[in-house]
A = this chain, B = another copy of it.
Amino acid sequence: MDAVNYSHVMKKIPEIAIMRLSKMYQFLLRLSESKESHISSSEIGDYIGTSANTVRKDVSYLGGTQTTGARYEVTRLAALIAEKLAFTARRKACVVGLGKIGSAILFYDRFEKQGFDLVAGFDSNINKVETLKTKIPLYPSHMIEEIVKRDAIELAVLCVPVDSAQGCAERLMRGGIKGIVNYTSAILKTNLIHVSNVDITGEFRALSALFEIDRQGTQGGNDGKSL
């Protein structure tokens, strides 16, 4: 159905624009530590790998800065993005699966600075839960739902073996999780929440296909459809 309601709803920002704005924000944050105080749309575009037009359009989805004609003020633009995309709120996250990758993530210490608090780790192996030395509380996997609910955890990184992935995802969902970063090669069935997949093998395959197709493309002529 059409959007019948035109109260004061901001017009919808394309999902892909949100991704770019996230990237942009990250870049602006780093930039703000240097001495550059202003930046143009084309410089931002060069940096995050898109066009100046797209950068300006994306910013305009947020309502634009109020400074037409002048280059963007770095801190001001960062603040605008943070506000509109709700990056201001701190969010709680957990890690499920404490194997090599999972524990590496658990010990990664930059989340706090970026607005994310790792408040729980889970593993089905009680041994790991008891022996891993960390200040982040660890729990056995059967407590996922309970803890996610209790601590109002919004984000999870899933690093379990592929066969446990769907089951853990379901526990997370029952706990009310809002987003999962899926490090397993499992293809999660969850149409309720947002999932971001970062399977290296999958990335390898996609990258291979991309450069392979490029190569075929630049070589010109495609033969008929038969094969």
Chain A residues within 8 Å of B, Cβ to Cβ:
1, 3, 5, 7-13, 15, 18-19, 21-23, 25-27, 46-49, 63-64, 83-87, 89, 91, 93, 99-101, 103-105, 107-108, 110-111, 114-116, 154-155, 157, 178-181, 185, 187, 189, 191-198, 200-213, 216-227
Residue pair A208, B27 in contact (C-beta under 8 Å): no
- Complex Cα–Cα for A108 and B223 (A): 31
For the A-B complex with A9-B217, A26-B202, A196-B227 known, give 18 more contacts whose Cβ atoms are closer than 8 Å.
A8-B221, A10-B220, A18-B206, A22-B209, A48-B187, A49-B191, A84-B227, A85-B212, A86-B209, A89-B208, A100-B107, A101-B101, A101-B108, A114-B201, A157-B200, A179-B207, A194-B207, A196-B206
Of the candidates B7, B108, B194, B205, the one whose C-beta lies within 8 Å of that of A211 is B194
List chain B residues, Cβ under 8 A from A218.
5, 9
Residue pair B26, A205 in contact (C-beta under 8 Å): yes
How near does chain B come to A116, taking the closest CB pair, in angstroms? 5
Residue pair B179, A208 in contact (C-beta under 8 Å): yes
Of the candidates B193, B194, B210, B220, the one whose C-beta lies within 8 Å of that of A179 is B210
Given contacts A114-B201, A155-B204, contact A192 B223 (CB under 8 A): yes
Q: Which A-B residue pairs are the 6 nearest by beta carbons?
A: A179-B207, A100-B104, A86-B212, A8-B220, A198-B198, A85-B209
